[in-house]
Amino acid sequence: MKEKQFLMIPGPTNVPLKILHTLGSPAMGHRTPEFARVLKEATEGLQKVYQTKNDLYVLTSSGTGAMEAAVANFVNAGDKVIVMENGNFGERWVKLNTRYGADVEVISGPWGERANPQALRERIAQDVQQEIKAVYVTHNETSTGVVHDVQALREALGDHPAIFIVDAISGMAVSPLPVDEWQLDVVVSGSQKAFMIPPGLSFISVSPKAWAVNEKVTTPSFYFNLQAARKSYEKYNAPYTAATSLVVALCETLKMLEEEGLENIYQRHSYYKKLVRTAVKALGLELLTSEEAGSSAVTAIKKPGNLDVQELTKIMREKHKVIIAGGQGKFKKEIFRIGHLGYVDVNDIIVTIAALERTLKELGWEFQLGQGVAAVQKLLLEGEK
């Protein structure tokens, strides 16, 4: 029974059982009217989740590809850009912009905390020459389990002409991010997160303001060139061969998301956050983040005493068949993380907490067996949402 596993990492997430078979749909010509209909349906479904009328494209890549598109299409070498960095994926915006020769100014904050809108507001106020071309932020910082206050960050930019670019890879369809209402110019996400299908597709929305900036950009890009995407999308074609089978499956999970409704989806994930945080505290473990900063997609837990988190995740996986994540970057050995986004329910969380309890006992952590699961059960019985 080796293959019966619980995947509780912050993506790739579980694929709904009734969707798995659609991945094995018959091969499809990528330049047929049939596929154009599928791509149109997927794109329109994504626009609903994004709550946007902006152009939106499906790229055949993982999320990092869409992040590269969000740099290469909007930044010339030498351009001043601001990156709000509080984690590994904030650092990815820094690395990408640096690679493309941008003049990167990083507003860093402690890992595990939210980015500071006030720091951005002050920096923008100083920019009287309007030299800043773009501001890069992270919606849900997967590496630390923090949901940033994107609305406040966007408000800090005000009516400055810089474009506002959001990595929403693990946060889209988990926590609110109304793209048009909040005036988010470029927003990227990925298939293997709350969209509940395997990795291989990424998504990017582009506002009219971002298109105007794009027109002046000469940075080389080809596969991720968004002008090529725009041109092909006139006929709902992808510029290069799309991962057809993943797009077919995406249409199905988008229907599930629409049926559940965005508000219910946000509430469900927020409830999972509460269950996991409550259980973890009941085991005497320490959360990395405050309640407010804590992500609805993934919960980060500090290393229990002197225990080895890599050993902990290994025991979870090998003995108890529950796959959780260790830390990333400079927090590699400092935290472990439980993902609870996408196709997850309360029973998955009970299994995970129970496996965590047995693992902690094996490692000699002192607590009363059953306290974590009991804390979850108590909340469930209260029926509170």
Residues forming contacts to a second copy in the complex (CB under 8 A) are: 3, 5, 7, 9, 11-15, 20-32, 60-65, 67-68, 71-72, 95-96, 99-101, 190, 192, 198-200, 219-224, 240-246, 317, 323, 325
Q: Residue 295: which of 111, 92, 107 has the closest Cα?
A: 111
Rounded Cα distance, 39 and 235, in Å = 10
Q: Residue 189 is inside which H or E element, if any?
A: strand 186-190
* Amino acid present at 250: L
- In terms of CB distance, is 166 or 188 closer to a second copy? 188
Give me the least distance between CB of 8 and a second copy, in Å please: 9
- In terms of CB distance, is 92 or 268 closer to a second copy? 92
Give me the least distance between CB of 253 and a second copy, in Å please: 12
| DSSP result, 239-280 | SS---HHHHHHHHHHHHHHHHH-HHHHHHHHHHHHHHHHHHH
The CA-CA-CA angle for residues 352, 285, 342, to 5°, reads 35
Give me the least distance between CB of 196 and a second copy, in Å please: 9
Give me the least distance between CB of 320 and a second copy, in Å please: 14
**Alpha helix stretches (DSSP H) within 29-87:** 33-50, 63-72
Rg of the chain's alpha carbons, rounded to an integer?
21
- In terms of CB distance, is 99 or 378 closer to a second copy? 99
For the chain, report the end-to-end CA distance as a whole number of angstroms.
Answer: 34
- In terms of CB distance, is 240 or 367 closer to a second copy? 240
- In terms of CB distance, is 136 or 182 closer to a second copy? 136
Biggest distance spanned by C-alpha atoms of the chain? 64
Q: Kindly report the number of other CB atoms within 10 A of residue 140's CB atom.
A: 30
| Residue that is written with structure tokens 């209260």 in the block | 382
Give me the least distance between CB of 107 and a second copy, in Å please: 21
Give me the least distance between CB of 332 and a second copy, in Å please: 12
Give me the least distance between CB of 262 and a second copy, in Å please: 23
| Residue that is written with structure tokens 């889209």 in the block | 172
Q: Are 204 and 187 in contact (CB under 8 A)?
A: yes
Rounded Cα distance, 31 and 70, in Å = 26
- In terms of CB distance, is 150 or 242 closer to a second copy? 242
- In terms of CB distance, is 40 or 317 closer to a second copy? 317
